[in-house]
């Protein structure tokens, strides 16, 4: 007898499912269990790279779940880039490929997630005439007033990144004062609070540290670092803020894993 006295209505065909691996008593959702099981078969070579997975309907029947659940399980692997769905043909195991990888800025976020250990040192905050790259990308008339702010963000009292930002000087816009606010920085990094921006574009570049930058970050001039450019647009779809972060690669490791990493 089953010790479970759950008055739930349907538990008819659970036995077949349990025999094949999906355990409904397991708190892990069925689709995740099935995904892990498939991952194991790929990892072990049972489903070698390039081979076709059983059809979703077949998986559903084999493991005693509905087609939607099986589909969801395959969807997990597809999102991981482990398999590739081809309509009308099947789902195929991918090989390890470099282009499958994505580099995220989680490391940056992880550090900045501790506002207690962050200090912001304003290096420069001034109004100046628009010129050069900033004037161009912000679509400002040449010579128009523009705000420039340079800050060094310290993490645990050690320089972490140098942030340079430039915005047009429009007294009617809340951007002006907010650019001087340190809070806007962390809220820019995360997706919290309220935003003056509708969208943004980021560009990652390698740079060689100049004398001045190196000093502010307490690094050796001439060595390489990441430059993370950002251009944000307001809700009127006009460019509103342009700038960049300079970060040493040790502070912001960009790693990516591809293929089967079971553990």
Partner DNA sequence: CAGTGGTCTAGACCACCCT
Partner DNA sequence: GGGTGGTCTAGACCACTGG
Q: Provide, rounded to whole angstroms, the least separation between the CB of residue 112 and its own copies.
A: 8
Q: What does the per-residue mask of binding to DNA show for 165-204, with x meaning CB under 7 A?
A: ----------------------------------------
Tokens of 194: 């309220």
Q: Which does 224 bind (CB under 5 to 8 A by kind): DNA, its own copies, none?
A: its own copies
> Is the CB of residue 88 less than 8 Å from the CB of residue 80?
no
Task: Check the CA dihedral 105-108-112-113 and report its sign.
Answer: positive
Which residues form the interface with its own copies (CB under 8 A)?
Answer: 43, 45, 48-50, 81, 84, 94-106, 108-109, 187-195, 197-208, 222-226, 228, 230, 232-233, 235, 249, 253-261
How many chain residues interact with DNA (CB under 7 A)? Answer: 32
Distance CA 67, CA 58 (A): 9
21 binds DNA (CB under 7 A): no
Q: Which does 8 bind (CB under 5 to 8 A by kind): its own copies, DNA, none?
A: DNA
- 145-148 long-range contacts (CB < 8 A, ≥24 apart) are 145/169, 147/176, 147/179, 147/180, 148/124
Distance CA 158, CA 250 (A): 13
Is the Cβ of residue 5 or residue 255 nearer to DNA in the bound state?
5
> Is the CB of residue 209 less than 8 Å from the CB of residue 219?
yes
Contacts with DNA by CB under 7 A lie at: 6, 8-10, 12-13, 29-32, 53-58, 64-69, 71-72, 74, 85-91
């Amino acid at each position: 007898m089953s010790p479970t006295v759950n008055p739930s209505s349907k538990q008819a065909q659970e036995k077949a499912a349990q025999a094949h691996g999906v355990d409904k008593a397991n708190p892990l959702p069925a689709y995740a269990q099935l995904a892990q099981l498939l991952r194991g078969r790929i990892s072990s070579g049972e489903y070698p790279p390039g081979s076709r997975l059983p059809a979703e309907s077949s998986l559903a029947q084999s493991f005693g779940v509905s087609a939607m659940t099986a589909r969801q399980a395959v969807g997990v692997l597809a999102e991981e880039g482990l398999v590739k769905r081809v309509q009308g043909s099947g789902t195929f195991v991918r090989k390890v490929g470099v282009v499958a990888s994505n580099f995220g800025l989680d490391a940056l976020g992880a550090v900045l997630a501790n506002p207690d250990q962050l200090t912001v040192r304003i290096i420069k905050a001034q109004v100046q005439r628009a010129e050069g790259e900033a004037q161009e990308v912000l679509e400002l008339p040449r010579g128009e007033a523009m705000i420039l702010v340079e800050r060094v963000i310290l993490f645990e009292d050690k320089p972490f990144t140098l942030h340079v930002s430039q915005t047009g000087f429009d007294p009617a816009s809340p951007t002006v004062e907010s650019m001087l606010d340190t809070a806007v920085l962390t809220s820019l990094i995360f997706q919290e609070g309220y935003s003056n921006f509708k969208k943004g574009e980021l560009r990652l570049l390698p740079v060689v540290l100049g004398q001045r930058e190196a000093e502010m970050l307490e690094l050796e001039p001439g060595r390489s670092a990441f430059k993370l450019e950002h251009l944000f647009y307001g809700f009127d779809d006009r460019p509103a803020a342009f700038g960049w972060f300079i970060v040493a690669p040790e502070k912001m490791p960009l790693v990516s894993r591809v293929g089967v990493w079971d553990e």
